[in-house]
Chains A and B, each alone.
Chain A
Amino acid sequence: DTGVSQDPRHKITKRGQNVTFRCDPISEHNRLYWYRQTLGQGPEFLTYFQNEAQLEKSRLLSDRFSAERPKGSFSTLEIQRTEQGDSAMYLCASSYRGTSGTDFYNEQFFGPGTRLTVL
């Protein structure tokens, strides 16, 4: 396992179309995060899973965005009816929470991202 992978790396779509991105985390990691990064800005938190449960979702997300992690392994992020403002880099990260109750601070490992361009 060489790290977090994302597919596709680049996606160009027309406004109004639906797109789906996939993230494969590091195999033993049980936490998975999605972020959006626009040019010249830091990543913005979108949502977070622990195993298959979606525990937090940003208010930045409209109902056009949905994320799933059905078996607690890979995750998908779908954007429906894309808009030009959705153009950004979509980053996935994963981390591992140990069984120890003190293992609260954990390192996120980021994937290379999927660059979305909406025409």
Chain B
Amino acid sequence: QQQVKQSPQSLIVQKGGISIINCAYENTAFDYFPWYQQFPGKGPALLIAIRPDVSEKKEGRFTISFNKSAKQFSLHIMDSQPGDSATYFCAPKTSGTYKYIFGTGTRLKVLA
């Protein structure tokens, strides 16, 4: 059984602070590592993603760090804003398929 463990479950950050969400996996047969953002009543939307041959990727205020040997990847949100308040999911893709395994989610609240 492939397992994806996401932490923390919830996170409260002051405006302008850094939000860090972690995802650990047990199965090495993942070949694509995206993070999704979901607002209440909406479907998830891709935020940023990384391939396993890259250790870090930055897009604006969002950065993914990938540690292949530790089987972990994390999302960093710099200068967090109240509009970033949402639930975030890691969702690595199983190699050779199009099956994505979503984490349990992290509910982020950014205080104004």
Contact = CB atoms under 8 A, between A and B. Distances in A.
Interface stretch (A62-70, A76-84, A104-112): A104-112
B102 A44 contact: yes
Given A42-B89, A91-B43, A108 B105 contact: no
B66 to A, nearest CB: 14
A40 B46 contact: no
Contacts of A40: 104-105
A43 B102 contact: yes
Contacts, number: 59
A48 interface: yes
Contacts of B91: 42-43
Contact of B102 (A42, A50, A107): A42
B49 A105 contact: yes
Contact of A48 (B45, B89, B98, B101): B98
**How big is the A interface, by class?**
20 to 34
Interface string B62-84: 00000000000000000000000
B58 interface: no
Interface string A38-63: 00111111001010000110100000
A61 B100 CA distance: 16
Contacts of B46: 107-109
Interface of B: 6, 31-32, 34, 41-46, 49, 51, 89, 91, 97-105
List 5 tightest A-B contacts by C-beta distance, closest first.
A110-B43, A42-B102, A107-B46, A43-B102, A42-B89
Given A42-B105, A112-B43, 13 more contacts: A40-B104, A41-B104, A42-B6, A43-B89, A43-B91, A50-B98, A56-B97, A56-B98, A93-B43, A95-B98, A104-B31, A105-B49, A109-B46
Interface of A: 4, 31, 33, 35, 40-45, 48, 50, 55-56, 58, 91, 93, 95, 104-105, 107-113
